[in-house]
């Protein structure tokens, strides 16, 4: 028998005969099932109608067909079969996205309010103190760039938060006491030790770090500053000698401390 067969379809009021090949019948079968579905059923997507994925297995022939279709579409060929149409639709999913975000009136007003608003830079007290002591002739932006580059170099070298390294360095390097000359009204004045608060201790430590950075050999001030901060963090800065000298004088004059 030939592989071609005939299918008869009867209708009320007469008989209508239509001839199908075996391949055309297989292609039309899924559509016939969809036509018999109830009106309340969900309409299938366009992709499912074009290329229904109802196969249990994928053969090598299917894979070769996909690869050939991809190559043809890549070369600019217009899709002309089911596989190429399906692949072409997958590359343009935006056409089927119906959900779109619509801002409310309140959100639009907030957007207009903050469009021209200037976002302030992050403020860290320790970093701000270093920037203010480095700044010359009111060029704060330039001083901020120097400190930012120095902190970045510290991060590249140590792989830890550079702000934490700076805080620990200032805490270790800052002196606890200082001395001042007190006039007694007699022939001899006295040297009286007094404690330093946190801001004063930090200022001394920063000034000593800047003095040490000025003695480095690099031509870039950011590099010199980063090297001095890391040296001070390791306990090798010359500022520790100044700290020890201040403490030595305070201990020698401890008899004049006001309690």
Q: Is pLDDT at 16 greater than 60 in this prediction?
A: no
DSSP letter for each residue of 100-125:
-----HHHHHHHHHHHSPPPPPP--H
**Domain CATH number, residue 205:** 1.10.455.10
Is 16 inside any structural domain? Answer: yes
Cα–Cα nearest to 247, from 198, 185, 181, 193: 193
Q: Are 48 and 145 in the same domain?
A: no
Q: Are 160 and 56 in the same domain?
A: no
* pLDDT at residue 155, as a whole number: 96
CA dihedral sign of residues 83, 84, 87, 92: negative
pLDDT digits (tens, 9 = 90+) for 171-215: 999 999 999 999 988 878 999 999 999 999 999 999 999 999 999
In this structure, what is the dihedral angle of CA atoms 124, 126, 127, 132, given to the nearest 10 degrees? Answer: 120
Helices (H), ranges, 36-139 = 46-50, 60-74, 82-90, 105-115, 125-134
Structural domain for 41, as ranges: 7-96
Beta partners for residue 126, in sequence order? none
Q: Are 89 and 198 in the same domain?
A: no
Asked if residue 218 lies in contact with residue 158, where contact means CB atoms within 8 angstroms, the answer is: no
Q: Are 133 and 217 in the same domain?
A: yes
Q: Are 238 and 156 in the same domain?
A: yes
Mean pLDDT, residues 228-248: 96
Is 112 inside any structural domain? Answer: no
* pLDDT at residue 47, as a whole number: 45
Q: Are 184 and 248 in the same domain?
A: yes
Q: Are 139 and 55 in the same domain?
A: no
CA separation for the pair 4, 18 (Å, rounded): 13
Is 197 inside any structural domain? Answer: yes
pLDDT digits (tens, 9 = 90+) for 57-79: 667 887 788 888 888 888 888 88
Q: Are 240 and 202 in the same domain?
A: yes
CA separation for the pair 142, 131 (Å, rounded): 9
- In the Cβ-directed half-sphere of 256, how many Cα atoms lie within 13 Å? 17
Q: Is pLDDT at 96 greater than 70 in this prediction?
A: no
Total count of domains within the chain: 2
Is 1 inside any structural domain? Answer: no
Is 209 inside any structural domain? Answer: yes
Asked if residue 230 lies in contact with residue 158, where contact means CB atoms within 8 angstroms, the answer is: yes
Is 115 inside any structural domain? Answer: no
Q: For helices 198-214 and 125-134, what crossing angle results, to 10°?
A: 50
Asked if residue 166 lies in contact with residue 151, where contact means CB atoms within 8 angstroms, the answer is: yes
Q: Are 170 and 57 in the same domain?
A: no
Is 108 inside any structural domain? Answer: no
Asked if residue 44 lies in contact with residue 51, where contact means CB atoms within 8 angstroms, the answer is: no
Asked if residue 222 lies in contact with residue 157, where contact means CB atoms within 8 angstroms, the answer is: no
Q: Are 75 and 32 in the same domain?
A: yes
The last residue of one of the domains, among 96, 116, 142, is: 96
């Amino acid at each position: 028998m030939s592989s071609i067969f005939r299918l008869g379809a009867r209708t009320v009021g007469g008989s209508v005969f239509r001839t199908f090949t075996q391949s055309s019948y297989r292609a039309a079968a899924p559509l016939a099932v969809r036509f018999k579905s109830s009106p309340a059923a969900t309409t299938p997507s366009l992709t499912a109608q074009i290329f229904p994925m109802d196969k249990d297995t994928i053969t090598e022939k299917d894979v070769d067909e996909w690869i050939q279709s991809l190559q043809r579409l890549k070369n600019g060929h217009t899709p002309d079969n089911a596989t190429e149409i399906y692949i072409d639709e997958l590359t343009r999913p935006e056409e089927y996205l119906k959900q779109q975000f619509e801002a409310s009136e309140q959100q639009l007003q907030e957007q207009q309010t903050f469009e021209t608003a200037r976002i302030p830079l992050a403020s860290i007290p320790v970093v701000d103190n270093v920037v203010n002591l480095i700044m010359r002739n009111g060029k704060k932006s330039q001083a901020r760039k120097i400190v930012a580059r120095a902190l970045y170099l510290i991060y590249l070298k140590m792989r830890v938060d550079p702000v934490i390294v700076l805080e620990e360095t200032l805490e270790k390097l800052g002196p606890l006491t200082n001395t001042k000359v007190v006039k007694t009204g007699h022939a001899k004045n006295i040297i009286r030790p007094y404690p330093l608060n946190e801001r004063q201790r930090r200022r001394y430590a920063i000034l000593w770090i800047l003095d040490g950075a000025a003695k480095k050999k690099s031509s870039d001030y950011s590099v010199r500053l980063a090297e001095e901060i890391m040296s001070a963090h390791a306990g090798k800065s010359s500022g520790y000698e100044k700290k020890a000298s201040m403490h030595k004088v305070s201990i020698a004059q401890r008899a004049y401390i006001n309690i």
